[in-house]
Structure 1
Amino acid sequence: MDDITRDAGRRLAERFEADRAHLTAVAQRLLGSAAEADDALQEAWLRARQADLDAVQNLTGWLTTVVTRVCLNLLRARRNRREDFLDAHDGAHGTPALSAVAGDPAREALLADQVGVALLVVLDTLGPAERVAFVLHDMFAVPFEDIAPLIEKTPAATRQLASRARRRVQGRPAAPAADAVRRRRAVEAFLAATRGGDFTALVALLHPDVVLHADALVVPTPEPITVRGAEPVAQGAMAATARARLTGLALLDGEFGLVMAERGRPRLVLAFAFGADARITRIDVVAEPERLHATEIAVVDPARTGTGGGIEELDQ
C-alpha cells in the first residue's frame, strides 16, 4: 500500500468517525430502526473503503450518499418482501409477538422519543423513493437536486414526492379546537401515567364506567377482551409499562390516540372516546393487521418533525 492510498484511507476513516452521528441519524430515519441503521452503516463503510476517493471533494456529502443508497436498497428489499405490519407471530395462535423490540430496547426507545413514534410509523407507509425524498429534504435540508440522482428522478419529480409524503405526514384533529386541546392533554397524560406507573393519575383520567376493548391479538388471547371500570382498566395499563416506552401520541383517523411501534412498524393503536368532562369513557386497543392497515395514522405536530425547524415552510 503506497503513501497516497494510506493517506486516503486515513482521511476516510477520520471523516467517517466525525460524521458517524449524522450518518446514523440519516440511516435511523430512513429505516426506522436503530439496529437496522447499524447494519446499514457497516455496509456503507465496507463500500466506502473500496471506492476511489480521488475525485471526492465533499466527503460528508459523499458518505451521506453512500449510506442513503444502502438504506434505499434495504427499503426496496423490504417492500419487495411485502412485509406485513405484523411480521412476527406466535406459532400456536398466529398472533403477533409483542415483546419489547428486537435489538437494544433502550436504543429503539430513544429513537422513538427523538423522532416520534407516529412519524416513524407514517414513514413506514411511504414508498422508498418518497421516504428518501422526504427524510433527506425535510429532515436534513438536502437539496432536491442532490436527492434526485439517488432515486433516479428529476428534481421536480423529487420535489413532488416529498410534497406528497409531507401531506401524508401532517395531520389535523377532527374535534373543535377547545375539545381537541382537552383530548390531547388527556391522551398525553394517559401515556405519561402509564410510563411512570402512576396508578392514581390513571384512575383520575378515566370515567368510573370506562370500557376497554382489546382485540384477540393484543394480549394475545383466543377471544377479544373487555374490561370495565376505572380501576381494572388502570391495572391493565400498569401491565403495559414496557410497551409504553415504544408508544407515542398520534392522530388516528383524525382523533387523538396512541400508537405502539417496533422498528418503525405499528404493532397496536389505542383509540379513545371522551365524556363531557374530558374523562376517558372508552379505549379500543387494536392489533389486528387489517384494522391497523385501515387506520389512518398521522403526526400530531408536523411543525416539529424536522431537525432544526418546521417542515411546513420547506415545500419550496
Structure 2
Amino acid sequence: MATDTAGAAADAFEEQRPLLTGVAYRMLGRAADAEDVVQEAWLRWARTDRETVCEPRPYLVRVTTRLALDRLRQIGSRRETYVGPWLPEPIATDYAGTVPDAAERMALSDSVSLAVLVVLESLSPLERAVFVLREAFGFPYAEIAGILERAEPAVRQLAGRARRHVAERRPRFAVDPTERRDLTERFLAAAGGGDLDGLLALLAPDARLVGDSGGKAKAPLRVLETADKVGRFLAAVAVKPLFEGEFRIREINGAPAVLVLSGGKPDSVLSLDVTEDGRIGCVYIIRNPDKLALLAP
C-alpha cells in the first residue's frame, strides 16, 4: 500500500513538473537553479501528508514559487559580483505535443524570450513572481494571492506595476516566425562575412549588443550601443573566432537563434531581439560555458 501511495505521489508530481520548471526558470533565469528548486519541491511533496492537500497543482506551484523567491534573494549578491553583463541561461524550446494551440505557444514563447527575462531581472522578487504566474501562466489573482500569502488588491497592484514596467522596456508586438528566421539567417551571413554595410542595413539605429561570458570567454564587458558600434564590433572584432565553428539555427527561448559549436560542443549562442519594424534591436551573445551545457547536441 505504501508503494502505491508513493507511486501516486510521484505520478502527481511528474504531471506538474513542466509547469513547476517553467515557473522556476522564468523567475530565476537559470535552468540549474530552476531544477534545484523543483527538486526541493519534490522532497517537500514527498514528506507532505497528501491527505491534507485537496489539489496537487496549486499546492506545488505555491511551494515552488516560494522556494524560487528564496533562491532569488540568495543569488542576488552572486550576480552583483558577476564579471560583465549577466544574461539568462539559454534553453532550447520545443513545445510540440505539450501546448494545445498556437496562441498559447506564442504566449509561452514571449514570456521565456531573452528580452523579457532580461527585463524581469529589474523587477522586485514579488513583482517577478506575480508577473510570471499571471502573464505567463494565467493564474487568477485570487490564486496568486493565496500562493504569495498577500491580499488580492496588493497582488493586483504588484501585477499592474510589473506589467507597466515590462511594457515600457519591452513593448509587445507579434513577429512572424518565418521573418524572424530569415532575419537571423541574413544576420549570420553578414556577420560571418564581415559585411559591415549588410549588418548596418539590418540593425536598428539604436541597436545594442550584450555579451555574457562571466569572464570565462571573450565577450564585451560592457553593453555596446548604436548600430555603428555594434556593426563594427561584429564585423571586425567579435565574431571571427566564433565563425570558425559549426553553426546551427535552433529555437532557443522561443525564437530562432544561432548556436555555435566548437569541437562538437556548444561555444556560443547569438540571439536577436527584433523591433516592430523588423530590424535588430539587440544582439545577445552568450559565451559563458556554464550556461551552454544544456544545448549540447
Question: Normalising to structure 1: TM-score of the pair?
Answer: 0.57
Query: Which residue does the alignment assign to 1:199?
Result: 192
Residue from 43, 48, 55 that aligns with 2:45: 48
Unaligned runs of 5+ in 1: 90-95, 103-107, 175-180, 264-316
Unaligned runs of 5+ in 2: 95-107, 244-259, 261-266, 289-297
**Correspondence list, 1:95-244, <5 A:** 96=84, 108-110=90-92, 114=109, 115-171=112-168, 191-195=184-188, 199-200=192-193, 202-203=195-196, 205-206=198-199, 219=218, 233=235, 236-240=238-242, 242=260
CA distance in 1, matches of 2:140, 2:169: 28
Query: Which residue does the alignment assign to 1:39?
Result: 36
For the Cα contact (< 8 Å) 1:29–1:135, is it kept in 2? Answer: yes
Shift of 1:75: 1.2
**Correspondence list, 1:252-263, <5 A:** 256-260=281-285
* Pairs aligned (count): 230
Shift of 1:137: 0.8
For the Cα contact (< 8 Å) 1:195–1:244, is it kept in 2? Answer: no
Shift of 1:43: 0.8
Amino acid at match of 1:257: C
Question: Normalising to structure 2: TM-score of the pair?
Answer: 0.60
Deviations 1:243-290 (A, max 9, x none): 762533067xxx933344689xxxxxxxxxxxxxxxxxxxxxxxxxxx
For the Cα contact (< 8 Å) 1:117–1:246, is it kept in 2? Answer: no
Structure 1 residues 7 and 195, CA, compared in 2 at 3 Å: closer, same or farther? Answer: farther
Any idea what SS the aligned residue of 1:141 has? coil
Shift of 1:110: 1.7
Query: Which residue does the alignment assign to 2:291?
Result: none
Query: Which residue does the alignment assign to 1:247?
Result: 271
Structure 1 residues 145 and 202, CA, compared in 2 at 3 Å: closer, same or farther? Answer: farther
Any idea what SS the aligned residue of 1:245 has? strand
Query: Which residue does the alignment assign to 1:277?
Result: none
Shift of 1:167: 1.2
Structure 1 residues 21 and 262, CA, compared in 2 at 3 Å: closer, same or farther? Answer: farther
For the Cα contact (< 8 Å) 1:29–1:120, is it kept in 2? Answer: yes
Structure 1 residues 78 and 173, CA, compared in 2 at 3 Å: closer, same or farther? Answer: closer
Taking only the aligned residue pairs, the percentage that are identical comes to 29
Shift of 1:235: 6.7
Structure 1 residues 70 and 227, CA, compared in 2 at 3 Å: closer, same or farther? Answer: closer
Structure 1 residues 189 and 236, CA, compared in 2 at 3 Å: closer, same or farther? Answer: farther
RMSD: 4.7
Shift of 1:59: 1.1
Is it true that 1:27 corresponds to 2:29 in the alignment? no
Task: Could you list the structure 1 runs, at least 4 aligned residues long, displaced by more than 3 angstroms after superposition.
Answer: 5-8, 111-114, 171-174, 187-204, 212-232, 234-244, 259-263
Structure 1 residues 196 and 18, CA, compared in 2 at 3 Å: closer, same or farther? Answer: farther
Shift of 1:168: 1.5
Amino acid at match of 1:163: G
For the Cα contact (< 8 Å) 2:88–2:117, is it kept in 1? Answer: no
Deviations 1:227-248 (A, max 9, x none): 8997982674354464762533
Shift of 1:50: 0.8
Any idea what SS the aligned residue of 2:272 has? strand
